[in-house]
Every structure is written in structure tokens, then in C-alpha cells.
Amino acid sequence: MKLHQLAEALGATLVGTNGEVEIKGIATLSEAGSDQLSFLTNPAYAREAAETGAAAVLAKRGKVAPESLLKGASLLEHDAPYLALAKALELFHPNQDMPAGVHKTALIHLGAEVHPSAAIGPYVVIKKGARIGAKARLETGVVIGEGASVDEGAYLGPYCVVAAKCSVGAHCQLEPHCVVGSNGFGYATDKEFKHRRVPQVGSAHLEAYVDLGAHCLVDRGAISTTRVGAGTKMGNHNIIGHNVQVGENCLIVGQVALSGSSSVGDRVTIAGNVGVVGHVHIGDGATVAAKSAVTRSIPAGQTVRGFPARPYKEVSIEMKLVSELPDLFKRLAALEAQLGKPEA
């Protein structure tokens, strides 16, 4: 594809003279050659942009001066360059669909339904009453429990498990070793501090376009349904406890644990290694900074941090003041010396 055609396909404005160059791929600023597109989506890399040997640099409209590209790269200006980059990558790396069909080693119960356009990999196990939708792709060793379902176009990486009665929505993408429908942490403790399992008899449901990074766990409800809303995207090693309700289009970065019966609104961002206690609610559009502990409900739109998580600015000021404690203790001692230290 020529650069001017690519600009058109992306809805970008071409600034420069390389429009007729045949573009063969996409690379980082430092690695791109004269037949590749590169991109500047983080201003920290401006110096690499100046020196790039790429045919063109995709960047935010108005943020990069064409003459700053010292080796003659053209500019592709776009209002949302990271979205345009996603689109460009899709153009150059079309999804290599697993071929439709069922691998001979897959074990599919006679009472399960598998759409003929689905791709079922080696050693997959699909149990009684399970349903697999059109163009769904199940990689090696995926297990689909009794009565569970995987909707159209979903992708499950190697060794993902969807337990009995649970469901994965259309176009979800699950990285390896995820579990949807594990038994959550439910124990009734007696007077001698012995713990009796509370049978976990609910289910877990991912709505459409949910992504789970590798090793994510979504526990089934104790009695009702654990639910993750459409379009929510998670990184690696997250835990969604039993009965949790997560809204739509959230970002949950990684190493996050949402304890049982907590709930999260829509468009919430939860950064890495956050813990949320049970039975609290995080409102729509809220943001929780990394390593926070959410111990109370968070209003919609609020940005919080710390343990317990409180408004970001408040906690940041306190953290700054903690770093000034050595000075504070000196100032106090000086006052005491000036006054003669009072009796305690």
C-alpha cells in the first residue's frame, strides 16, 4: 500500500513528499526503515522521532513540526493517532483465524452444540449442553463445562476454563489460563474456627467484547451471577470475586482484586495491584490509582489513591508532607528549644 493510500485509509493528513512510497509494515521509531510507518504517541520519544529512518511518522495533529523529522520522514497527522495506529496494525496484521473445524483430539459431548464455523483446537473438552458460537476460536486444551457457552467470534487462549453454566460473550478475547467460573472464597466459620465450604452455586458471565489478560480469574457467584460488562478490558492476573458486578468499558490494569459482592460502574479505570473490599461500589467514571486499597464506596467521577483510597489530591499532599517529616521534627525541636521544652 502506498503511503498516500494508507493516509486515506486511516483518515490521516499526509504532510511531506513520501506519498508514493510503498509501505510494507510498521515499526518503532528507532527500528523503522524507509518502507515502514512509525508513530509518536508518547512525547517522551520526540528525540527518537527526529532521528527516525521511517517513511512516515503518525502523530497527533499539530504536535510535530514536519521539519523536526531530520531524515526526511513524512508526517501523518491524525486527531487520535493511537486509534489510527491500532487501525494501521490491523491492516498490516490481519487476524490469522484458526481454520474452522474441530481437531480430531477434541472431545465434544454429543449433547453440545458447536457452530460449524467455529475453530476447536487440540485436546479441547466441551461438555454436555455447552454451546459454541459462530467463528469462536478455542485454543489447545480449553475446557467448556456443562451448560456453559461461548458466543460468536470469541477467542479463548490455551488452557482457559469456562466452568459449568458460565458464559463468555461475543468477541471476547481471553489470554491463556483464564478461568471463568472458579469457586470463590466462601466459608462459614464455626465457634472453633473451623471453616465449612459454602457451596458456590451461581454462575459467571462476560458480556460482549470483554478482554481478559493472561491468568485472570472470574469467580462464579455464590448464589447469583458474577458479571463483567461489555467492552471492559483487563490486563494480567486479575481476580474478580464472587457476585461482583463490573460495568461497561472499564479498564482494569493488572494484579487487581475485586472482593466478593463489590461493584464497579461504567468507564471506571483501576490501575495495577489495587484491592477492593467486599460490598462497596465504585461509581461511573471513577479512577483508582495503583496499589490503592478501596475500603469504602467511591463516588462517580472521583479519582482516588492510597490506603484507604481517598481523593487523589488530598492523599498526594499527605504523601508529600510525610517526606517533609524529618524537617518538621527539626522545626518542632527548634521551637521547643526556643521555649524551653514544656513538661509532657
Q: Which residues are catalytic?
A: 242
Least Å from the CB of residue 132 to a copy of itself: 16
**Concatenated DSSP letters for 111-145?**
T-EE-TT-EE-TT-EE-TT-EE-TT-EE-TT-EE-
Q: Is 207 in the site for a copy of itself (CB under 8 A)?
A: no
**Concatenated DSSP letters for 200-212?**
---EEEE-TT-EE
Least Å from the CB of residue 208 to a copy of itself: 12
Q: Which three cell numbers mark 215?
A: 491468568
Contact positions with a copy of itself (CB under 8 A) in 283-302 = 285, 290-291, 293
HSE toward the beta carbon, residue 203, CA cutoff 13 A: 14
User: Within a 10 A sphere around the Cβ of 318, how many other Cβ atoms?
Assistant: 11
- Region binding a copy of itself by CB under 8 A among candidate stretches 8-16, 57-65, 130-138, 252-260: 252-260
The closest of 12, 160, 4, 170 to 80, measured between CA atoms, is 12
Contact positions with a copy of itself (CB under 8 A) in 175-194 = 175-177, 179, 182-185, 187-190, 192-194
Q: Is 44 in the site for a copy of itself (CB under 8 A)?
A: yes
Which residue's CB is nearer to a copy of itself, number 110 or number 344? 344
Least Å from the CB of residue 158 to a copy of itself: 5
Q: Is 97 in the site for a copy of itself (CB under 8 A)?
A: no
Residue 215 burial by Cβ neighbours in a 10 Å radius (0-12, 13-18, 19+): middle
Name residues whose C-beta falls within 8 Å of residue 64's C-beta, 6 or more positions apart in sequence.
Answer: 40, 46, 49, 57, 75, 77
> What's the distance, Cα to Cα, between the start and end of the chain in Å?
81
Least Å from the CB of residue 8 to a copy of itself: 19
Contact positions with a copy of itself (CB under 8 A) in 111-170 = 121-123, 125, 139-141, 143, 157-159, 161
Contact positions with a copy of itself (CB under 8 A) in 60-89 = 80, 82-83, 85-86, 89
Least Å from the CB of residue 189 to a copy of itself: 8
Which residue's CB is nearer to a copy of itself, number 17 or number 307? 307
d(CA 34, CA 18): 10
Using CB under 8 A, pick the residue from 217, 244, 246, 286 that binds a copy of itself.
217
Using CB under 8 A, pick the residue from 115, 257, 283, 300 that binds a copy of itself.
257
Name residues whose C-beta falls within 8 Å of residue 45's C-beta, 6 or more positions apart in sequence.
Answer: 29
Q: Is 321 in the site for a copy of itself (CB under 8 A)?
A: yes
Q: Is 247 in the site for a copy of itself (CB under 8 A)?
A: no
Using an 8 Å Cβ cutoff, are 62 and 80 in contact? no
